[in-house]
């Protein structure tokens, strides 16, 4: 995976958020959904009705984390356990680093253009919803070619 100067657009972020919302509705789990651009800046945030208020900050920081390190938060979490290479990383970046599942980099042609963070359910549910958003974006890019 490589880094590019290209960033996710608002239109693309809306597509991601809508796909996440559909999946969250399907699994009956209200979510907070945050999408950041290539610089880690918020492009879009969606709070579903009844989603936990505290999940807003977590979703944004999952997206920030996935973009900062160009890795899913679930994978970073595995590598941050005692004895692993990133142990203690959650203390960096003023405590913004999230190690819970639900944050994923967003790619276009194998290049990171932003990231997505989802929070409000279990780690498995957050991952399912994030993967649905990521897949919708990748499908759109594949269709455009």
37-76: pLDDT as tens digits: 999 999 999 999 999 999 999 999 999 999 999 999 999 9
Q: Kindly give the residue spans of alpha helices, DSSP state H, lying in 1-145.
A: 10-26, 55-69, 73-79, 123-144
Return the axis-axis angle of helices 10-26 and 123-144, rounded to nearest 10°.
130
The count of structural domains within the chain is 1
Q: Are 111 and 2 in contact (CB under 8 A)?
A: yes
Q: Look up the CATH number of the domain holding residue 51.
A: 3.30.450.150
Q: Are 14 and 34 in contact (CB under 8 A)?
A: no
Name the 3-class secondary structure at 110.
coil
Distance CA 45, CA 60 (A): 8
Express the helix, strand and coil content of the chain in percent, nearest 5 each. 45, 20, 35
pTM exceeds 0.75 for this model: yes
What domain range is 18 assigned to? 2-144
71-100: pLDDT as tens digits: 999 999 998 899 988 888 888 888 889 999
């Amino acid at each position: 995976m490589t880094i590019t100067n290209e960033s996710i657009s608002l239109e693309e972020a809306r597509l991601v958020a809508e796909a996440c919302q559909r999946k969250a509705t399907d699994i009956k789990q209200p979510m907070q959904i945050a999408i950041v651009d290539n610089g880690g800046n918020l492009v879009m945030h969606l709070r579903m009705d009844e989603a936990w208020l505290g999940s807003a900050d977590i979703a944004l920081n999952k997206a920030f984390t996935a973009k900062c390190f160009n890795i899913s938060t679930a994978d970073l979490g595995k590598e941050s356990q005692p004895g692993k290479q990133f142990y203690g990383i959650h203390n960096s970046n003023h405590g913004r680093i999230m190690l819970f599942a639900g944050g994923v980099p967003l790619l276009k042609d194998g290049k990171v253009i932003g990231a997505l963070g989802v929070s409000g359910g279990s780690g498995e549910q957050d991952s399912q919803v994030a993967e649905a958003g990521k897949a919708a974006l990748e499908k759109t890019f594949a269709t455009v070619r």
